[in-house]
Chains A and B, each alone.
Chain A
Amino acid sequence: MNIGFDTSQMLHGAVLTVELAAGGVGVSLVLGALGGLARSRGPRWLRWLIVGYVELVRGLPQILQLFILYFGLTQFGINLSPFTAGFIWMCFYGTGYAIEIFRAGISGVHPGQLEASTALGLSRFQSFRRVVLPQAVARMVPPLTTFVILELKNTTLLYIIGVPEIMYHANLLASNSQPLNIYLIAVGFYLVMNMTLGRLGAYVEHKMSWAKS
Chain B
Amino acid sequence: MFAGILTLWGQYFGNFLGGLGISLEITVAGLAFALVAGAGFAALRLARFRVLRLIGTAYVEVVRATPMLLVLYIMYFGLGQVGIKLPAYWAAVIALGTFYAAQFTEIFRGGIQSVDRGQREAADALGLSRWQRLRKVVLPQAVMTILLPSTNALADIIKDSSLVITIGLSDLMARTYEATSATFEPMDMFLLAGVMYLVVYLLLSRVLGRLELNVQRRHG
Contacts and interface: CB of A to CB of B under 8 A. Distances in A.
Contacts of B161: 61
A98 interface: no
Contacts of B185: 75
Contact of A167 (B69, B180, B186, B193): B69
A180 B84 CA distance: 11
Nearest to A193: B65
A59 interface: yes
Given A68-B190, A73-B187, A153 B67 contact: yes
A117 interface: no
B211 interface: no
A156 B184 CA distance: 27
A191 interface: yes
Contacts of B188: 75
A55 B80 CA distance: 39
A53 to B, nearest CB: 13
A160 B166 contact: yes
Contacts of A182: 78
Contact of A191 (B66, B82, B201): B66
Contacts of B65: 149, 187, 190-191, 193-195
A183 B78 contact: yes
A107 interface: no
A120 interface: no
A184 B82 CA distance: 13
Interface residues of A, number: 42
B57 interface: no
SS class, residues of chain A in contact with chain B: helix
Nearest to A71: B186
Contacts of B78: 174, 179-180, 182-184
Nearest to B199: A59
A64 B187 CA distance: 11
Contacts of B81: 178-181
A181 B188 CA distance: 41
Interface string B89-113: 0000000000000000000000000
A71 B113 CA distance: 46
Question: Interface centre among B78, B79, B176, B193, by most A CB within 10 Å?
Answer: B78
Given A180-B78, A190-B67, A60 B198 contact: yes
B66 A190 contact: yes
B128 to A, nearest CB: 34
Task: Give the 3 A-B CB pairs with smallest separation, nearest first.
Answer: A194-B65, A59-B201, A61-B162
Interface of A: 55-56, 58-64, 67-68, 71-76, 149, 153-154, 156-157, 159-160, 167, 170-171, 174, 178-184, 186-187, 190-191, 193-195
Interface of B: 61-62, 64-70, 73-74, 77-82, 155, 158-163, 165-166, 173, 176-177, 180, 184-188, 190, 193-194, 197-198, 201-202
Given A59-B201, A187-B74, 6 more contacts: A61-B160, A62-B159, A62-B162, A179-B81, A181-B81, A191-B66
